[in-house]
């Protein structure tokens, strides 16, 4: 992924206690990824372009962050496993690695995704499960499904719903990935909505992040320069 850049569209919404939309902010820009973080450079906000001087400052800051990450990566033992990526909105974290380790996985079946065979599993918390981290406090109240590519053995889609209470059945989390020509899997769409169940998720904010036009800027012999 450090060899790719992409365009992004991030939508932030806040809702009232009655569920009415109070505010919406839409940002677009370009995004880069190191081995440990996403670096987003905002180009427009609510349809208005960001000032050129501000864009330049953000690009320079992004370059410094990416260079620092690259240097740390070169020092790291290649035998050490890479980071486990997760999504965090305020006090709510969603992490497919955590789900696969901590939850019961049931109802194995096959489905096609993007023309590829996937294994599908339903997940739900074990009886009496209590997570050890505060940002996973909501996990005992959720369930969902996860899709794993049958060939590459990576998660390509997953979604979670509220399992109990007055908002049971509401989908609050969705994420899917796209298969790039070189075999890399990259995030395509992410949605995390605290407003689906504020009493469990502790807020009324919704975040949607959509990535498109992903292009490779690393160059090897015979490759096209982007």
Burial of 199 (0-12, 13-18, 19+ CB in 10 A): exposed
Residue 221 belongs to a domain: no
- Where is average pLDDT lowest: 20-24, 34-38, 104-108? 34-38
pLDDT bracket for residue 71 (50, 70, 90): confident
Give the mean model confidence (pLDDT) for residues 143-162.
97
Q: Do the Cβ atoms of 5 and 31 come closer than 8 Å?
A: yes
- Residue 96 belongs to what domain range? 4-216
CA quadruple 53, 55, 57, 63: dihedral, nearest 10? -150
Give the mean model confidence (pLDDT) for residues 116-137.
94
Going by C-alpha positions, the residue among 163, 142, 225, 157 that lies closest to residue 191 is 157
Number of domains in the chain: 1
- The residue that leads in pLDDT, 65 or 104, is 104
Give the mean model confidence (pLDDT) for residues 213-217.
82
In this prediction, residue 13 carries a pLDDT of 97
Q: Kindly tell me if the per-residue pLDDT of 107 is higher than 80.
A: yes
Residue 111 belongs to a domain: yes
Query: What's CA 24's distance to the chain center, in Å?
Result: 20
Going by C-alpha positions, the residue among 83, 86, 46, 82 that lies closest to residue 173 is 86
Query: What's CA 35's distance to the chain center, in Å?
Result: 15
pLDDT bracket for residue 223 (50, 70, 90): very low
pLDDT bracket for residue 226 (50, 70, 90): very low
Residue 26 belongs to a domain: yes
Q: Kindly tell me if the per-residue pLDDT of 38 is higher than 80.
A: no
| Beta carbons within 8 Å of 155's beta carbon, 6+ residues apart | 96, 100, 146, 147, 148, 149, 177
Q: Kindly tell me if the per-residue pLDDT of 36 is higher than 70.
A: no
């Amino acid at each position: 992924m450090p060899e790719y850049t992409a365009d992004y569209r991030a939508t932030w919404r806040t809702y009232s206690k009655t569920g009415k939309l109070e505010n919406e902010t839409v940002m677009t820009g370009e995004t880069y990824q190191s081995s440990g973080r996403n670096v987003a450079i905002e180009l427009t906000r609510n349809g208005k372009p960001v000032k050129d001087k501000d864009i330049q400052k953000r690009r320079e800051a992004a370059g410094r962050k990416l260079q620092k990450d690259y240097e740390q990566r070169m020092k790291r033992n290649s035998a050490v496993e890479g980071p486990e990526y997760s999504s965090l909105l305020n006090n709510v974290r969603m992490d497919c690695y955590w789900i696969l380790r901590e939850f019961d996985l049931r109802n194995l079946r096959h489905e096609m995704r993007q023309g590829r065979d996937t294994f599908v599993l339903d997940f739900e918390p074990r009886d009496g499960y209590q997570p050890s981290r505060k940002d996973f406090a909501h996990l005992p109240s959720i369930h969902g499904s996860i899709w794993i590519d049958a060939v590459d053995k990576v998660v390509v889609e997953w979604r979670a719903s509220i399992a109990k209470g007055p908002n049971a059945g509401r989908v609050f989390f969705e994420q899917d990935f796209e298969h790039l020509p070189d075999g890399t899997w990259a995030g395509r769409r992410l949605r995390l909505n605290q407003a689906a169940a504020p009493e469990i998720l502790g807020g009324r904010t919704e975040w949607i992040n959509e990535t498109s036009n992903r292009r490779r800027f690393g160059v090897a012999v015979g490759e096209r320069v982007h």
